[in-house]
């Protein structure tokens, strides 16, 4: 009887610690966070990580409207700043965990006439360019900023096809539905052979990825533990394999 009681007590203890941790992350983190979540879960029996991927602005809207999220990871500082201003973040939980670069990719079919810089996108042979919607997609804001500084934003306006997130831009390029697209360097590695990296887009500041726990999370300890794992040597090694750089 005593053995049965001990087993039940142990099971009850595990159930108390078990958590379904919901992590909302920018679309560009899809492969890296899936691997991170798998390793994290394997090392913490009873904890399940539910991943939700979308454009950073969309993720913020979901949380603002009450979506039950424990951890938020965005592809820009601006979106996280808005979350902080709306008092959505757990105090002192915000950390920068990775950096990335902006690149232009093209379909293999157009590689022979591959653009070498932003100015080349204005050529007649480039008819459609995929860019994330700057209103909600950080990669779109980065692209818009670079094009404005180069004096090309208005000139390319008739060519621009706005997308819902960076992966939609990548898909359009891979399918040959556009002549070029703005994505992150890490995204360009996702479809080898289906997209070709044309050039890196110079930016004034590096692209930084912040992560934070959401205020009111029912799994505060697990949320902070997940953030610590992302920033640990093992988490950073996974991110590096997927094309991200250290913060």
Residues in the annotated binding site for molybdate: 28, 56, 166, 184
What number of other Cβ atoms are within 10 A of residue 228's Cβ? Answer: 11
3-state secondary structure of 113: helix
Which residue stretches of the chain are H helix? 2-17, 30-43, 56-64, 77-85, 138-149, 166-174, 185-188, 220-231, 233-241
Counts for the chain of helices (H) and strands (E), in that order: 9, 10
Instruction: For residue 243, report the phi and psi dihedrals to the nearest 5 degrees.
Output: 95, 5
Binding residues: 28, 56, 166, 184
**How far does CA 1 lie from the centroid of its chain?**
52
Q: Which DSSP string corresponds to 10-29?
A: HHHHHHHH-EEEEEEEEGGG
Contact (Cβ atoms closer than 8 angstroms) between residue 21 and residue 229? no
Which of 190, 191, 183, 82 lies closest to 142, judged by CA?
Answer: 183
Strand partners, 21: 49
């Amino acid at each position: 009887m005593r053995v049965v009681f001990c087993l039940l007590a142990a099971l009850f203890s595990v159930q108390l610690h078990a958590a379904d941790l919901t992590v909302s992350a920018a679309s560009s983190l899809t492969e890296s966070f899936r691997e991170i979540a798998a390793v994290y879960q394997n090392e913490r029996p009873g904890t399940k990580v539910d991943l939700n991927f979308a454009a950073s602005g969309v993720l913020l809207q979901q949380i603002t409207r009450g979506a039950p999220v424990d951890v938020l990871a965005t592809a820009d500082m601006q979106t996280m700043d808005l979350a902080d201003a709306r008092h959505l973040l757990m105090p002192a939980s915000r950390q920068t965990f990775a950096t990335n670069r902006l690149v232009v990719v093209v379909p293999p079919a157009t590689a022979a006439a591959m653009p070498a810089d932003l100015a080349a996108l204005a050529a007649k042979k480039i008819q459609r360019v995929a860019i994330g919607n700057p209103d909600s997609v950080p990669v779109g804001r980065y692209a818009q900023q670079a094009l404005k500084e180069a004096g090309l934003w208005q000139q390319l306006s008739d060519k621009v096809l706005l997308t819902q997130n960076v992966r939609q831009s990548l898909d359009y390029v891979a399918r040959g539905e556009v002549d070029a697209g703005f994505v992150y360097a890490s995204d360009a590695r996702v479809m080898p052979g289906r997209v070709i990296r044309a050039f890196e887009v110079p930016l004034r500041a590096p692209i930084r990825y912040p992560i934070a726990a959401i205020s009111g999370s029912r799994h505060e300890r697990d949320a902070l533990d997940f953030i610590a794992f992302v920033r640990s040597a093992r988490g950073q090694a996974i991110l590096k394999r997927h094309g991200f750089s250290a913060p």
